[in-house]
Amino acid sequence: DTGVSQDPRHKITKRGQNVTFRCDPISEHNRLYWYRQTLGQGPEFLTYFQNEAQLEKSRLLSDRFSAERPKGSFSTLEIQRTEQGDSAMYLCASSLDRGFSGANVLTFGAGSRLTVL
Amino acid sequence: AQTVTQSQPEMSVQEAETVTLSCTYDTSESDYYLFWYKQPPSRQMILVIRQEAYKQQNATENRFSVNFQKAAKSFSLKISDSQLGDAAMYFCAYRSDNYGQNFVFGPGTRLSVLP
């Protein structure tokens, strides 16, 4: 297993265009998280999945954002009608949650950097 | 909602010396987990150390140790014998023990290691 993979690593787009990011988690991990990170700041939570179910969404996730995790494997994060304020690093992380109290640990991908011109 | 504060935007340390990074958090819960993550320049974030709130003993991982003060809601990271490879952004993170809670990260501290 090569860890958490994200694609593309860099995306430059014009305002108003749609973009999609893909995340492939560690294969045995049942939880998948999306975070957004702007320069010099900590990651901000966007959403997470338990298998294929999207269990929580942040207020940051406007109607232009949508995330899916079909079949509980890879996940996609789509941003429609991009705005300059969407420019950020989009981080994916996965973890194994066994359904009982315990500290599941996030394993992060390298991130997908979005620049909106 | 839980919040995590890191009051030191930047820190520096001489190689081989010891440095302590501060973290405080706000929560009304009694059971939770705390983490320190490291993000080297242009590289992915990796776990440094974690602490369960129900454990009184401070966690230690080689040169990294924490000072967990539950009553004060403080969780500092001590790096001993600092190495050039320790230079990175360090993020403190909180996770509730309630099932279904996400991780909350602080704003980070940029650590420079001086040769």
Which residues of chain A are within 8 Å of residue B35 when distances are taken between CB atoms?
103, 105-106
Give the SS3 label for residue A56: strand
Q: Which of A61, A55, A46, A114 is nearest to A86 (CA)?
A: A114
User: Residue B2 in 3-state DSSP?
Assistant: coil
pLDDT digits (tens, 9 = 90+) for B46-80: 999 999 998 889 999 999 999 999 999 999 999 99
Express each pLDDT in B10-30 by its tens digit.
999 999 999 999 999 999 888
Percent of chain B's residues with pLDDT above 70: 97
pLDDT for B99 equals 57
pLDDT-derived band at B36, boundaries 50, 70, 90:
very high
Average pLDDT over residues B29-47: 91
Pair A36, A46: CB distance under 8 Å: yes
Q: How many CA atoms lie within 13 A of B114 on its CB side?
A: 7
Q: Which residues pair with A114 in a beta bridge?
A: A11, A88
Residues of chain A predicted below pLDDT 70? 1, 99-103
| DSSP designation for A16 | T
Task: Let me know if A85 is exposed, middle or buried by CB neighbors in 10 A (0-12, 13-18, 19+).
Answer: exposed
For position A105, what pLDDT does the model report?
A: 87
HSE value, Cβ hemisphere, 13 Å, CA-based, for B55: 14
Q: What is the dihedral of CA B50, A32, B101, B48, to 10 degrees?
A: 10
Q: Could you tell me which residues of chain A have a Cβ less than 8 Å from any Cβ in chain B?
A: 4, 33, 35, 40-45, 48, 50, 55-56, 91, 93, 99, 101, 103, 105-111
Residue B98 has pLDDT above 80, yes or no: no
Distance CA B25, CA B47 (A): 18
